[in-house]
Amino acid sequence: MMLRVLLPCLLLAAAPALAQALDPVLLAGACQGCHGVAGQGSHGIPQIKDAQSRAEFVALMQAFRANQREATVMGRITRGYTDEQITVLATHFARAQ
C-alpha cells in the first residue's frame, strides 16, 4: 500500500518543518481529554505516553483509520486527522528511540 511506504519518509523528512506549523501540544490536548493530561490512561483507556515508537504510533493510527483494527471511538477520531497531524502526534507521544 502506497501510504505505508510514504509514512516512514514523512516521519524522517518532514517532521521538524511540520512541527513548526502545527502545535504538537495543542493537537495532543484533544487526546488528553480521555487519555489523561500526561497520556497515562484511566479505567481501561490505554496509556499513550512512552508506550510505543513513532513508527508504531503512526501504524496504529493508520490501522484505526482504515478500520483494520477493532476500536470503539478511535476509528471515528483518526478519520478526522491528516497524515501530518498524526506524524506530529507520534513525535509528541512516542518514547525516545
Partner 1 sequence: MTLSRRTFLAAASAALVVPRIALAQPGAGRVVIIGGGFGGASAARFARDHFPALDVTLIERSRTFTTCPYGNLVLAGRRTIESITFGYDRLAARGVRVLNQSVTAVDPAAKRVRLADGTEVPYDRLVMSPGIDLRWGAIEGYDEAASARMPHGWSPSLQPITLLRRQLEEMPDGGTFVMAIPDNPFRCPPGPYERISMVAEYLKRAKPRSKLIALDAKNGFSKQPLFQDAWEELYPGIVEWRGASSDGRVMRVHPATMEVETEFGEKLKGDVVNVIPPQMAARIARDAGLVNQSGWCPVKPATFESAQVDGIWVLGDATIAAPMPKSGFAASSHAKHAIACIAASLAGRAPPPATLFNTCYSHVGPDYGISIVGVYRPGPTSLVEVEGSGGISPRNATMTPERRQQHRQLEALYADGWYASITNEMFG
Nearer CB in complex with partner 1: 2/21 = 21
Q: Mask of contacts with partner 1, 56-85, x by CB under 8 A?
A: --------------x-xx--xx-xxx---x
Neighbours of 7 (CB within 10 A): 21
Binds partner 1 by CB under 8 A, chosen from 5, 9, 16, 44: 44
Alpha carbon distance 1, 24 (integer Å): 27
Which H or E run contains 31?
A: helix 24-35
Stretch that binds partner 1, among 9-17, 24-32, 55-63 (CB under 8 A): 24-32
